[in-house]
Amino acid sequence: MLCALVASVYSGLVYFGGQIMMVEPKETPSPSPVPHWEETCKYHYNWSNITVAFTQACEGLKLGELVHESNFGLYEAMSAIEMMDPKMDAGMAGGRSKRQVPSFKERISDESIKLKDFELCELISIMDTCQTCILSWLEGQSLAQTVFTCLFLHEPDLIEDRVLRAYCIAVLKLCDLIKEKIFTANVFEEEDFQTLTYGFKFAGQVSPMRAVGMLRECEDDVSRSLRISKSQPATPDEPALLQAVLARLKFVRLFLQLLSPFGNKEKEVLQGNRKLLGQLSEQLTIIDKTTNLGLASSNTDDGHEVSYGFDPLVNQRLLPPTFPRYTKLRSKNEIGHCYGELIKCLLSVVDMTTLTSFQSILDFIVEFSHSEPSVLSRSIAQITFLPENRRIFATQPLGEALRESIRTFNSPPSLSTKFPNIQSNLQVKSCLDSFLIRATRTMAKLVQAYGHNYARQREKLSAVLEDLGILQDEADRCDTDINALMHALDPNAGKSHLTCVGSWALYHTLRVMTQYIVSGFVLQLYSDHEYHYIYWYLAEVLLSWQLTTLNRAEGQLQSDESLADPTPSNKQRSHKKAKKNKKKCKVHAREIVLTQGMQMMAAGCFKALLGFFLEGKMRTPDFSFDNEGIRYEHRFSPFISVGTPPFMPYKQFQEMTDVGQYFPAPTAQDLYLSSSKHFAQAKQAYESIAAAGEIQNLLLVAKTNLVMTKLLAGGHKQSSSSRPQFDFTVNSIFPIIRVL
């Protein structure tokens, strides 16, 4: 019966006490523009009373039984209930407004909006509000509630003022260009960027270059007026107002010129964007100083903030029937800061084009994603590094860059100039090419995963791990085949190809696994009673394997270099050449030290936490529906798909960390002392390299925890039952431990 009632409401009828009442048809809220009828439609109804028939039909139903129509399910029923309900349908928010919300053309008809003879302060206000709308759009708001709340953007061709018309067309082309770049990169999610355009047009008849030309013409006109006003000002503020308008025109023009080459041009062209970014910063400084020259916003009776030429409710009927919410735009005073951050990110992307190796560029992309860049910045970085043709900076094929990356990592014989007969063998080349085809696809996915926002990045990395697991199998197969070919070609080669390509694949797999675990700390996903097995897995599994892989690669590089060196008895070897060769062998030295430091930090945190559990300062909660084993398996479940390193099940973790298996069993103070030694080793590792930025913070954490664990080992706060505190403000991965 409820379903039947909902169906009747949905069709425009309501049943009340044996009478059928008509509900007046309303406009249907949908993403499509709502038509405006020229004449009022006349509805003709032929009602009949169905009370008796309806009652008789219901007699066949038992108590609590409902009629279910196959074409009218729960989804349709809920839609019928929510549609046109002011509390549930965003499209009805305009109907609750105490004021009329006319369209742009209706305002032109009743002359409530101007098309020409704008005051300079009005132009400044419109231009600044347009920029706040673009910034809000880039933060995940919809076009209908941000950019297209500007009435002038609906029909820019109707604007008679030359400056405002050129500016509005340029804003539309800028939005279209931004949308194109973001769509091409495809590193956005629904919370980052709204894809619906609601049928609005982006001045498709005007090319971006023509829009730039229109802005230049307007700049010339405003510049002439500015020169005249400096000698004969009509008002004292006229020169400043003209300068403000000119800066805003230049800003949009430079922004258009700046974005166009990204993803389409070679890196030499992109490096020329540095000059445009400098000019953009200059205009942004002027804009920031002259924001107060525009008209102030006003508040309507229904509580909406309205600027001249804008209306937040003008597109309300275009929104889908979702929960209504008011979109708060960025403040005009934030334009300088927000665009300043964007310019810094784009400068970093331009700097990225100077990098030469795949590994250095990948490191940049990873570090860049940690700085929480906007969706536009991340998209620009993606399409600059790897355009659609999978050529790095649109020049070098990704496969060739990966070939060079493997050569730099551990110099396998198949890529070393010391083995020309192996390097030139067609079968060896075929094996490598087959592997590189697979590696190209996997690494392209990895780069794209690092382009997503940090929260989504974790989800994407877990999916990439499956591809990396397959890539490891391919690498091992490639090593085995090439090794067999090597011994067939030269049985006395004296060098094996096993674990060469496989080590490179394993190295990248371990980096992704470590990043997956670390991101959980940054996103604050772990409870403090979970820290001990997280740090244990980092120290004993991931970072331990990483160190082994790096040391093996370093040994392979030294072995390859030694083949080129003369024997020690050769007196002609110069000291300079020996020093140069020694320097070449230290490719991974810095990364080895950093990994050692990270491993010691994780081990120190693990043993300190184990001590807290032994003393009763920390306890595992009594779960109602799960236990620590289930949580452990859940945290590391993405690693099951990876063959190397093998997944460590919870039972093995318990066996390896059970202090009861030792005799005598270590006390909490013994664990604190061992923890302090780990922190001391981490401190020594970080002090051996240039400590700057994040390394300086890690050094501070290591020193502080070293002191704390030494105090705890001496019995400090032993009688205290207060829970230890973990401060992640200095470093987001390793906390400063405090016991109060």
For residue 24, pLDDT over 80 is answered with: no
For residue 389, pLDDT over 60 is answered with: yes
- Identify the bridge partners of residue 396 per DSSP, sorted by sequence position: 392
Burial (Cβ within 10 Å: 0-12, 13-18, ≥19) of residue 644: middle
d(C-alpha 621, C-alpha 102), whole Å: 59
For residue 245, pLDDT over 70 is answered with: yes
Concatenate the DSSP letters of all residues of 523-572 into one string.
TT---GGGHHHHHHHIIIIIHHHHHHHHHHHHHHHHHHHHHHSPPTT-TT
CB atoms within 10 A of CB 94: 22
Determine which helix (DSSP H) or strand (DSSP E) holds 269, and give its type and residue range.
helix 267-271
State what percent of residues in the chain have pLDDT above 90: 57
Q: What is the DSSP letter of 72?
A: B
For residue 727, pLDDT over 80 is answered with: yes
Position 91 scores a pLDDT of 53
Position 98 scores a pLDDT of 56
d(C-alpha 226, C-alpha 232), whole Å: 10
Give me the mean pLDDT over the 523-551 stretch.
Answer: 95
Position 381 scores a pLDDT of 93
Counted residue by residue, the chain has a size of 740
Position 621 scores a pLDDT of 83
My answer on whether 80 and 110 are in the same domain is no
Taking only the tens place, the pLDDT of each residue in 248-294 is 999 999 999 999 888 776 677 777 788 999 999 999 999 999 999 99
- Cβ atoms 471, 386 nearer than 8 A: no
Taking only the tens place, the pLDDT of each residue in 193-220 is 988 898 899 998 999 999 999 999 999 9
d(C-alpha 637, C-alpha 46), whole Å: 64
- 533 compared with 100, residue with greater pLDDT: 533
Position 302 scores a pLDDT of 57
Give me the mean pLDDT over the 297-326 stretch.
Answer: 73
Which of 140-154, 445-459, 563-577 bottoms out in mean pLDDT, i.e. has the lowest? 563-577
Most confident of 104-113, 621-630, 656-665: 104-113
d(C-alpha 565, C-alpha 113), whole Å: 82
**Residue 242, token pair as written in the block:** 């003209």
Position 276 scores a pLDDT of 92
My answer on whether 216 and 151 are in the same domain is yes
Q: What is the DSSP letter of 397?
A: E
- Cβ atoms 281, 293 nearer than 8 A: no
- 562 compared with 554, residue with greater pLDDT: 554
Range of the domain at 58: 2-84
For residue 325, pLDDT over 70 is answered with: no
d(C-alpha 608, C-alpha 582), whole Å: 39
CA dihedral 113, 114, 119, 124 (to 10 degrees): 60
Position 563 scores a pLDDT of 73
The reply to whether 91 falls in a domain is: no
Which of 94-98, 397-401, 471-475 bottoms out in mean pLDDT, i.e. has the lowest? 94-98
- Indicate the average pLDDT of the chain: 85
Residue that terminates a domain, selected from 280, 306, 333: 333
**Residue 547, token pair as written in the block:** 């160190």
Residue that terminates a domain, selected from 84, 116, 142: 84
Position 87 scores a pLDDT of 59
Q: What is the DSSP letter of 45?
A: -
My answer on whether 112 and 244 are in the same domain is yes
The reply to whether 345 falls in a domain is: no
Q: Which residue shows structure tokens 């009652």? A: 55
The reply to whether 365 falls in a domain is: no
- Identify the bridge partners of residue 727 per DSSP, sorted by sequence position: 736
The reply to whether 115 falls in a domain is: yes
The reply to whether 168 falls in a domain is: yes
d(C-alpha 111, C-alpha 20), whole Å: 45
- 19 compared with 93, residue with greater pLDDT: 93
Give me the mean pLDDT over the 25-47 stretch.
Answer: 50
My answer on whether 61 and 128 are in the same domain is no
My answer on whether 79 and 124 are in the same domain is no
- Identify the bridge partners of residue 737 per DSSP, sorted by sequence position: 726
- 563 compared with 51, residue with greater pLDDT: 51
H/E/C letters for each residue in 58-70?
A: HCCCCCCCCCCEC
What is the pairing mode between strands 396-397 and 725-727?
A: unpaired
Position 665 scores a pLDDT of 82
- 387 compared with 303, residue with greater pLDDT: 387
CB atoms within 10 A of CB 98: 8
Give me the mean pLDDT over the 94-116 stretch.
Answer: 78
- Cβ atoms 271, 263 nearer than 8 A: no
d(C-alpha 56, C-alpha 140), whole Å: 53
Angle at Cα 487 formed by Cα 482 and Cα 489, nearest 5°? 90
For residue 163, pLDDT over 90 is answered with: yes
Q: What is the three-class DSSP state of 39?
A: coil
My answer on whether 67 and 210 are in the same domain is no
For residue 112, pLDDT over 70 is answered with: yes
My answer on whether 453 and 599 are in the same domain is yes
d(C-alpha 273, C-alpha 279), whole Å: 10
The reply to whether 329 falls in a domain is: yes
Taking only the tens place, the pLDDT of each residue in 581-607 is 444 547 899 999 999 999 999 999 999
User: Nearest Cα to 669, choosing from 739, 605, 612?
Assistant: 612
My answer on whether 530 and 619 are in the same domain is yes
- 47 compared with 597, residue with greater pLDDT: 597
My answer on whether 140 and 56 are in the same domain is no
Give me the mean pLDDT over the 37-59 stretch.
Answer: 75
Taking only the tens place, the pLDDT of each residue in 479-506 is 999 999 988 887 776 678 888 999 999 9
Question: Rounded to 5 degrees, what are φ and ψ at 725?
Answer: -110, 145
Position 30 scores a pLDDT of 38
Give me the mean pLDDT over the 427-443 stretch.
Answer: 94
Which of 560-569, 656-665, 704-713 bottoms out in mean pLDDT, i.e. has the lowest? 560-569
For residue 2, pLDDT over 90 is answered with: no
Residue that terminates a domain, selected from 84, 117, 136: 84
420 pLDDT tier (thresholds 50, 70, 90):
confident
- Cβ atoms 52, 58 nearer than 8 A: no
Give me the mean pLDDT over the 161-190 stretch.
Answer: 94
99 pLDDT tier (thresholds 50, 70, 90):
low
Cβ partners under 8 Å of residue 645, min gap 6: 510, 541, 542, 545
Q: What is the DSSP letter of 297?
A: P
Give me the mean pLDDT over the 668-683 stretch.
Answer: 95
Number of structural domains (the chain) is 3
- Identify the bridge partners of residue 535 per DSSP, sorted by sequence position: none
d(C-alpha 682, C-alpha 669), whole Å: 20
Position 26 scores a pLDDT of 39
- Cβ atoms 17, 24 nearer than 8 A: no
My answer on whether 113 and 66 are in the same domain is no
My answer on whether 446 and 322 are in the same domain is no
- Identify the bridge partners of residue 310 per DSSP, sorted by sequence position: 150
**Residue 382, token pair as written in the block:** 């993606």
Cβ partners under 8 Å of residue 268, min gap 6: none
The reply to whether 616 falls in a domain is: yes
The reply to whether 360 falls in a domain is: no
Burial (Cβ within 10 Å: 0-12, 13-18, ≥19) of residue 408: middle
Give me the mean pLDDT over the 119-140 stretch.
Answer: 94
Cβ partners under 8 Å of residue 730, min gap 6: 697, 700, 701, 736
133 pLDDT tier (thresholds 50, 70, 90):
very high
My answer on whether 109 and 76 are in the same domain is no
